[in-house]
Amino acid sequence: MSLQNILGKNYKWWYCVKYYFKLRTAYRVDNFFFALGNIMTLLGTVLIWFYASGAELNQDFRTKISYFILGTIYFGIVNMWPSFFGYNIRDGKHTILLLRPGNFIVSVFFIYLGVASFQMLVLMLLFLFSSPIWILFVSSTVVWQNIFWLILMWLPSILIHFFLEFLVAMLAFFVTEINGIILNFDFLKSLLMGRLIPLTFIISSFWIGLANPFGFLFFQPMQILLGKYDTNQIIITLISSLLWIVFLTISSNYILKIGLKKNESVGL
């Protein structure tokens, strides 16, 4: 039995992911240097924290390094860039999706899932080849039984990231140029998700941290993996991520409706 027979009418979404994955392979060099840039940023961060820790390879330093290394890997498999869809809206190319059958937001999701999948693959291969180096740092700091919780966190992280980026893309309906917004959002995202510095330096309260949706992309999963949360806190974190998905889904549909209404034209 073929995959098309199994998926039925939903096969179009698999085909969409596969098509945009193949399309992205034409930019292999670009994807390689993008992934390499992520690793160089990670190495710079590790070096800064090494000297900030007094150049000592103690357990505290190993925990911080594990946080950044594993967090970069985790974010690498949830990272998507639908905010770039704002350029399509600016140029009027979004009308192509509006003319196709199917939900507009779902279509954007699977398009960028396909686009991001190849980038994820390149990044994972680079980390795999370098694993003999970094695995020495993380092996003694990870709570391996929490891998199960991390797997449960994966899909909510992807959806939260998608909707946050999608909301940024929707701003293209209301402004003349979107480029500066997208670039500044990327820096803000890195800060608020704990990629630059652990969020414990900014937000000390567990409950207040749950009010930050960006934390579910990097900080919260790493707190789970490194054993910083007990079981009750992990469950609360997972429930909070689901509540954020509901809120962001409603917000995305609402902003999209307003944006389309603002830019509607005859024949669209």
* Residue 57 pLDDT level (bands cut at 50, 70, 90): low
Residue 266 forms part of a structural domain:
no
CA dist 95 and 74 (Å) reads 34
Average per-residue pLDDT for the chain? 84
- DSSP assignment, residue 26? G
Domain containing 17: what range? 10-261
Dihedral angle, C-alpha 197, 199, 204, 209, nearest 10 °: 170
The predicted-structure confidence for 159-182, as pLDDT tens digits, reads as follows 999 999 999 999 988 888 888 888
* Residue 207 pLDDT level (bands cut at 50, 70, 90): very high
Residue 213 forms part of a structural domain:
yes
Q: Is the model's pLDDT at 1 over the cut of 60?
A: no
How many separate domains does the chain show?
A: 1
CA dist 243 and 266 (Å) reads 38
* Residue 193 pLDDT level (bands cut at 50, 70, 90): very high
Return the number of other C-beta atoms located less than 10 Å from residue 84's C-beta: 15
Stronger pLDDT, 217 or 93, i.e. the higher one: 217
The answer to whether 244 and 160 have CB atoms below 8 angstroms apart is yes
Q: What is the pLDDT of residue 238?
A: 96
Residue 5 forms part of a structural domain:
no
Q: Is the model's pLDDT at 85 over the cut of 50?
A: yes
Residue 82 forms part of a structural domain:
yes
Residue 268 forms part of a structural domain:
no
Q: Is the model's pLDDT at 5 over the cut of 70?
A: no
Q: What is the pTM of this model?
A: 0.88
Residue 47 amino acid letter: L
Residue 94 forms part of a structural domain:
yes
Stronger pLDDT, 245 or 89, i.e. the higher one: 245
The predicted-structure confidence for 17-43, as pLDDT tens digits, reads as follows 888 888 878 777 777 777 777 778 877
Q: What is the pLDDT of residue 255?
A: 93
Residue 229 forms part of a structural domain:
yes
Q: What is the pLDDT of residue 268?
A: 46
Stronger pLDDT, 63 or 163, i.e. the higher one: 163
Looking at 80-84, 108-112, 241-245, which range is the least confident one? Answer: 80-84
Dihedral angle, C-alpha 246, 249, 254, 260, nearest 10 °: -170
Say what percent of the chain tops pLDDT 70.
92
How does 31-59 read in b/e, with b if 16+ C-beta sit within 10 Å?
beeebeebbeebeebbeebeeeeeeeeee
The predicted-structure confidence for 103-161, as pLDDT tens digits, reads as follows 888 888 988 888 888 878 887 887 777 777 677 777 778 888 899 999 999 999 999 99
* Residue 7 pLDDT level (bands cut at 50, 70, 90): low
CA-based nearest residue to 222, from 114, 158, 157, 150: 150
Q: Is the model's pLDDT at 267 over the cut of 60?
A: no
Stronger pLDDT, 54 or 203, i.e. the higher one: 203
CA dist 126 and 241 (Å) reads 29
Q: What is the pLDDT of residue 82?
A: 73
The answer to whether 16 and 110 have CB atoms below 8 angstroms apart is yes
Residue 2 forms part of a structural domain:
no
